[in-house]
Amino acid sequence: MLNQTSIWKVLITVFVVAMCALYALPNIYGEDHAVQISAGRDAQVTQSTVAEVETTLKANDIAIKRLEFENDQILVRVSDSDTQLKARELLEKQLGDDFFVAMNLAPDTPAWLEEIGGTPMKLGLDLRGGVHFLMEVDMNEAINKALEDAVGDFRTALREEGLRYRTVRQVEEHVDIVFRDEETLDSAEFFLRNRNRDLTFTERDGLVLRASFSEARLAEIRDYAVKQNITIIRNRVNQLGVAEPLVQKQGAERIVVQLPGIQDTARAKEILNATATLEFRMLDQTNDIRDALNGRVPAGSQIVEDQQGVPQLLEKRIMLTGNHIIDANSGVDEYGISQVNISLDSEGGNKMSRATRGNIGRPMATVFIEYKATDERDENDKLVFEKHEEVISVATIQAQLGSQFRITGLDSPKEARDLALLLRAGALIAPIQIVEERTVGPSLGQENIDLGMQAIMWGLAAVLVFMLIYYKAFGVVANVALLVNLVMIVGIMSMIPGAALSLPGMAGIVLTVGMAVDANVLIFERIREELRDGRSPQQAIHHGYDSAFSTILDANITTFIAGMILFAVGTGPIKGFSITLMIGICTSMFTAILFTRVLVNAVWGGRRVEKLAI
pLDDT tens per residue across span 435-485: 787 777 666 667 777 888 888 888 888 888 988 888 888 889 889 999 999
- Domains of the chain, residue spans: 7-25+441-604, 32-107, 140-217, 276-436
SS3 552: helix
Picking from 117, 157, 134, 166, the residue whose alpha carbon sits closest to that of residue 438 is: 134
Question: What CATH architecture does domain 140-217 belong to?
Answer: 2-Layer Sandwich (3.30)
Q: Name the percent of the chain lying above pLDDT 90.
A: 6
Q: Helices 139-161 and 215-240: crossing angle, nearest 10°?
A: 110
> What's the CATH number of domain 276-436, 3.40.50.10420, 3.30.1360.200, 1.20.140.160, 3.40.50.150?
3.30.1360.200
Q: Greater confidence, 463 or 43?
A: 463
Convert 317-340 to b/e letters by CB count within 10 Å (16 or more is b): bbbbbbbbbbebbbeeeeeeebbb
Q: Helices 139-161 and 346-356: crossing angle, nearest 10°?
A: 50
Res 375 pLDDT > 90: no
Picking from 106, 99, 103, 68, the residue whose alpha carbon sits closest to that of residue 84 is: 103
SS3 92: helix
Q: If pLDDT is split at 50, 70 and 90, which confidence band does 358 have?
A: confident
Q: Greater confidence, 494 or 251?
A: 494
Least trusted range by pLDDT, from 49-53, 514-518, 563-567:
514-518
**pLDDT for residue 240:** 47
**pLDDT for residue 261:** 67
Q: What type of residue sits at position 122?
A: K
Least trusted range by pLDDT, from 190-199, 210-219, 423-432, 483-492:
423-432
Q: If pLDDT is split at 50, 70 and 90, which confidence band does 492 have?
A: very high
Q: What type of residue sits at position 358?
A: G
**pLDDT for residue 243:** 45
Contact 467, 478 (CB under 8 A): yes
SS (H, E, C) 196-260: CCCEEEEEECCCEEEEEECHHHHHHHHHHHHHHHHHHHHHHHHHHCCCCCEEEEECCCEEEEEEE
Q: If pLDDT is split at 50, 70 and 90, which confidence band does 612 have?
A: confident
Question: What CATH architecture does domain 32-107 belong to?
Answer: 2-Layer Sandwich (3.30)
**pLDDT for residue 587:** 92
| DSSP for residue 426 | -
Q: What type of residue sits at position 426?
A: G
Q: What type of residue sits at position 109?
A: T
162 burial (CB, 10 Å; 0-12 / 13-18 / 19+) is: exposed
d(CA 499, CA 252): 26
Res 242 pLDDT > 50: no
Res 22 pLDDT > 70: yes
Contacts (Cβ under 8 Å, ≥6 apart) of 531: 537, 540, 612, 614
Q: Greater confidence, 353 or 608?
A: 353
Res 264 pLDDT > 60: no
Res 506 pLDDT > 50: yes
Contact 174, 204 (CB under 8 A): no
**pLDDT for residue 491:** 92
> Mean pLDDT across the chain, nearest whole number?
81
- Domain 7-25+441-604 belongs to what topology? Multidrug efflux transporter AcrB transmembrane fold (1.20.1640)
Q: If pLDDT is split at 50, 70 and 90, which confidence band does 21 have?
A: very high
Q: Greater confidence, 105 or 150?
A: 150
d(CA 516, CA 587): 8
Least trusted range by pLDDT, from 30-44, 108-122, 125-139:
30-44
**pLDDT for residue 17:** 93
Q: Name the percent of the chain lying above pLDDT 70.
A: 88
**pLDDT for residue 356:** 85
pLDDT (average), residues 83-96: 85
pTM metric for this prediction: 0.62
pLDDT (average), residues 283-306: 86
**pLDDT for residue 107:** 80
Res 244 pLDDT > 60: no
Contacts (Cβ under 8 Å, ≥6 apart) of 283: 312, 313, 314, 315, 362, 363, 364, 365, 394
Detail the DSSP E strand segments found in 263-382.
277-282, 301-305, 311-315, 320-321, 325-332, 338-344, 363-377
Q: What is the pLDDT of residues 4-16, one digit of tens each?
A: 778 888 899 999 9
Please tell me if the domain spanning 140-217 has the same topology as the one spanning 276-436. Answer: yes
Return contacts of 285-289, CB within 8 angstroms, 24+ apart: 285/362, 285/363, 287/313, 289/313
Q: Greater confidence, 573 or 207?
A: 207
Least trusted range by pLDDT, from 40-49, 78-87, 154-163:
40-49
Contact 587, 517 (CB under 8 A): no
* C-beta neighbour count of 539 within 10 angstroms: 16
pLDDT (average), residues 354-360: 84
d(CA 578, CA 574): 6
**pLDDT for residue 441:** 67
